[in-house]
């Protein structure tokens, strides 16, 4: 599995056609997610499935459509770089000689805080998925930071690219749709509600199985993006308005933060959910549910906004400059 990953990576370095490199990057995402499953990281595999194999190639392609497909210049100083890279690599390999063997149960990472997470969290938080309890409760302040970063990045992309004008029905992207996609459209009409429903399932099932706000947000966004690709971004923007999305993206962060403030007001620490309800365990449940909802809303609307921004730059390239 890992060997395949290595081959793919080398091939990406080798190829000059950027489009092929992007396709291989998609395969690379699929492979690394399979690897994550085989070493028990189900939640991570879930995220990598949606992001590495789905969103990342789409974003890259959207950029390629604007920038052009082939590299032009020759490699600069390939030999010196190769030497530098080999030296760094050799140093790192020397470093691994002191590392604990792969999978050994008494390695340092497993002996500090992780033991407590594994042994106590099913009792303390009352939910079976330890990843969710660490993400949304023990390390919730950290997660708030991550959500803020995603929000900021989406706003940055909007500031750089978004022209605010929806594609008018006569523009290039819309015309491409006349190209008779009946089969695709009918099938997608069946699939899109299922995708959105599945995203909601992932959102609210995250406490019991793999899933949670991050994954659900990305899947939801993928559903909307599929609609936009087949029915035109102009139509999609009439259904899901960019202005609404901007408000929603901010609201997600706001929900997350205000849960923390409510906890403060009711006498606990910031994001200490046990204060939310008289029964601490039920309070923790409620807190996790609400902040996961906040995360989901922010991630979904940020991703859709980013795609709208790229699409609007594709439709009216001259307005961006």
Partner 1 sequence: MLMELYNYWVVILLMMTGFYIVIVQGNLIKKLIGLNLFQTSVFIFYISLGKVSGGSAPIFAEGVSSYSNPLPHVLILTAIVVGIATTALALALVIRIRNAYGTVEEEELQQRDLEC
Partner 2 sequence: MLTAVVVALLVVMVMALSRALLGPTIYDRILAVNVFGTKTVLLIAVVGFLFGRPDFLDIALVYALINFISVIGVLRYFEYSNERHQGGNP
Partner 3 sequence: MIALLLEGVSILCLGTGVFLLVSGGIGLLRFPEVFSRMHAAGVTETLAASLILLGLMILAGWGIVMFKLLLILLFILITSPTASHALAKAAVHGGLGADPGRNETS
183 to 222, contacts with partner 3 by CB under 8 A? 183-184, 187, 190-191, 194
Torsion angle, alpha carbons of 234, 236, 240, 246, to 10: -60
Q: Which of 238, 219, 210 is nearest to 300 (CA)?
A: 219
One DSSP character per residue, 166-232 reads PPPTTSHHHHHTTTT-HHHHHHHHHHHHHHHHHHHHHHHHTTTSS--HHHHHHHHHHHHHHHHHHH-
Is 270 among the residues that bind partner 1 (CB under 8 A)? Answer: no
Q: Which stretch binds partner 3 (CB under 8 A): 3-11, 89-97, 182-190, 258-266?
A: 182-190
131 binds partner 1 (CB under 8 A): yes
How far is the C-alpha of 312 from the C-alpha of 222, rounded, in Å? 18
Q: Is 43 a binder of partner 1 (CB under 8 A)?
A: yes
The residues binding partner 2 (CB under 8 A) are 1, 4, 7-8, 11, 19-20, 23-24, 26-27, 30-31, 33-34, 37-38, 40, 42, 45-46, 49-50, 53-54, 57-58, 61-62, 64-65, 69, 172-173, 175-176, 178-179, 184, 188, 191, 195, 198, 202, 205, 209-211, 215, 219, 222, 225-226, 229-230, 314
Question: Which of the listed partners (partner 2, partner 3, partner 1, none) does 230 bind, with a CB threshold of 5 to 8 Å by partner kind?
Answer: partner 2
Cα 98 versus chain centre, distance? 34
For partner 2, the closer of residues 94 and 178 by Cβ is 178
Site string for partner 1, 271-300 (x = CB under 8 A): ----------------------------x-
Structural element, H or E, at residue 154: helix 140-161
Of the pair 115, 184, the CB lying nearest partner 1 is at: 115
Of 138 and 220, which CB lies nearer to partner 3 in the complex structure? 220
Q: Least separation, in Å, of the C-beta of 190 and partner 3?
A: 7
Binding residues for partner 1, how many (CB under 8 A)? 104
Minimum gap (Å) between residue 268 Cβ and partner 2 = 33
243 binds partner 1 (CB under 8 A): no
Helix (H) or strand (E) holding 80: helix 78-96
Radius of gyration of the CA atoms of the chain, in A: 23
CA pair distance 128, 205, nearest whole angstrom: 11
d(CA 41, CA 49): 12
Q: Is 53 in the site for partner 1 (CB under 8 A)?
A: no
Minimal CA–CA distance to 212: which of 127, 148, 152?
127
Phi, psi of 70 (to 5 degrees): -110, 145
Start-to-end C-alpha separation, the chain: 44
Minimum CB distance to partner 3 smaller for 118 or for 187: 187
Residue 276: DSSP 8-state? S
Residue 135 makes contact with partner 1 by CB under 8 A: yes
* Smaller CB separation from partner 3, 93 or 183: 183
Pick the binder of partner 1 from 23, 27, 34, 56 (CB under 8 A). Answer: 56
Q: In this structure, are residues 185 and 230 in contact, taking their beta carbons and an 8 Å threshold?
A: yes
Does 248 bind partner 1 (CB under 8 A)? Our answer is no
Residue 284: φ, ψ to 5°: -60, -40
Q: Which does 211 bind (CB under 5 to 8 A by kind): partner 3, partner 1, partner 2, none?
A: partner 2
């Amino acid at each position: 599995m890992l060997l395949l990953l290595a081959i793919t990576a080398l091939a990406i370095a080798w190829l000059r056609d950027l489009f092929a490199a992007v396709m291989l990057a998609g395969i690379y995402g699929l492979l690394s997610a399979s690897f994550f499953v085989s070493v028990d990281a189900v939640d991570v595999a879930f995220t990598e499935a949606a992001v590495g194999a789905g969103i990342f190639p789409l974003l890259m392609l959207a950029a390629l459509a604007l920038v052009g497909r082939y590299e032009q210049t020759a490699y600069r100083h390939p030999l010196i770089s190769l030497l530098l890279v080999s030296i760094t690599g050799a140093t790192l390999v020397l470093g691994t000689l002191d590392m604990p063997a792969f999978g050994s149960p008494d390695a340092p990472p497993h002996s500090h805080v992780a033991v407590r997470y594994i042994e106590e969290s099913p009792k303390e938080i009352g939910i079976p998925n330890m990843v969710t309890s660490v993400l949304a409760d023990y390390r919730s302040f950290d997660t708030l930071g991550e959500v803020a970063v995603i929000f900021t990045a989406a706003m940055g992309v909007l500031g750089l690219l978004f022209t605010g004008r929806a594609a008018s029905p006569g523009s290039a992207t819309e015309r491409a749709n006349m190209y008779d996609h009946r089969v695709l459209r009918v099938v997608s009409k069946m699939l899109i509600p299922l995708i959105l429903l599945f995203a909601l399932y992932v959102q609210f099932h995250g406490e019991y199985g793999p899933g949670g706000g991050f994954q659900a947000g990305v899947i939801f966004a993928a559903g909307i993006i599929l609609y936009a690709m087949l029915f035109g971004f102009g139509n999609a923007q009439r259904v899901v308005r960019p202005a609404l999305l901007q408000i929603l993206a901010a609201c997600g962060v706001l929900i997350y933060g205000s849960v923390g403030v409510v906890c403060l007001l009711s006498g606990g620490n910031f994001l200490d959910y046990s204060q939310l309800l008289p029964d601490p365990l039920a309070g923790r449940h409620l807190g996790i549910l609400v902040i996961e909802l906040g995360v989901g809303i922010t991630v979904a609307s940020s991703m859709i906004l980013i795609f709208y921004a790229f699409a609007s730059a594709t439709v009216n390239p001259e307005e961006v400059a």
